[in-house]
Amino acid sequence: MSLQEIIYRFRYALSIVEPGALAIGRFRCPICASRLLLRLARTEIGVRCLRCGASAITLSMVSALKTERPGFRRDKVYELSSRGPLFQFLRREVPDLTFSEYFDDLPPGELRNGVQCQDIHRLTFPAASFDLVTSTEVFEHVADDRRGFAEIRRVLRPGGAFVFTVPIEDAERTVERARLVDGEVRHLLAPAYHDDRIRGRNAVLVYRDYGRDITGRLREAGFGAARIELRYAKAFLGAGRGVVVARA
């Protein structure tokens, strides 16, 4: 781990800590096999593996991935990020891994510091390029998620899977917070933003709050089946995240 990464994690921990929530628990990390889990706050991002720094969201994601796609190490995999514990895990475990970031000032397909730029609305990969696509906390920030889901389905091979996380409310239907109209953002609700390692704190717009109908949106985009795997939603000191599993 680089000094820059250590400093980032320390500063981030200080920014989210809730003194009354502090706790340490024993578990086996699905990413690094550490035995200690730290709770800094009573949120999914406030619960972390003490060694690799993975949040309860990423811990849920990797746990579900191992259960739902046990042969993923032999897959041709596309991950929609180039940073963080999930990426590091995949880079270590998967010989045939493709990864990318979205840089709004770079054409899709071009490289920046060895990382390929991709726009989920119009991926540059040929159809049926991958066996597995993964992402964490991406699609709530995609302006046209149906088009993005359709692109993921296009680049998946028959029998492939899209395993990912997004924040999902305990609600039947998704609520649209903003739309992109003629290249301009039109806010339907008060703007909400999430953190991003590239762009910084509170820098990435949330376009929608997903409900349980996310599975229907995936089927409308061409997936044969989709469900929300909830077995790890409370598995890490009471925190975790439902993981969406969609099959081509």
Question: What are 28-61's pLDDT values in tens digits?
Answer: 999 999 999 999 999 999 999 999 999 999 999 9
Query: Which of 97, 194, 182 lies closest to 138, judged by CA?
Result: 194
Give the C-alpha separation, 38 to 28, whole Å.
12
Q: Which of 87, 97, 96, 222 is nearest to 151 (CA)?
A: 222
Q: How confident is the model at residue 136 (pLDDT cuts 50, 70, 90)?
A: very high
Q: What is the pLDDT of residue 17?
A: 78
Token representation of residue 152: 């993921």
Assigned CATH topology for domain 3-247: Rossmann fold (3.40.50)
Chain segment 182-213, per-residue pLDDT in tens: 989 999 999 999 977 666 666 799 999 999 99
Q: What does the pLDDT read at residue 175?
A: 98
Cα–Cα distance for residue pair 49/58, rounded to 1 Å: 10
Q: What is the pTM of this model?
A: 0.92
Per the structure block, which two tokens stand in for 75?
Answer: 């897959």
Domain boundaries, given as residue ranges, for the chain:
3-247
CA distances from 32 to 49, 90, 167 (A): 9, 12, 24
Write the pLDDT tens digit of every residue in 65-94: 999 999 999 999 999 999 999 999 999 999
Q: Which amino acid, 39?
A: R
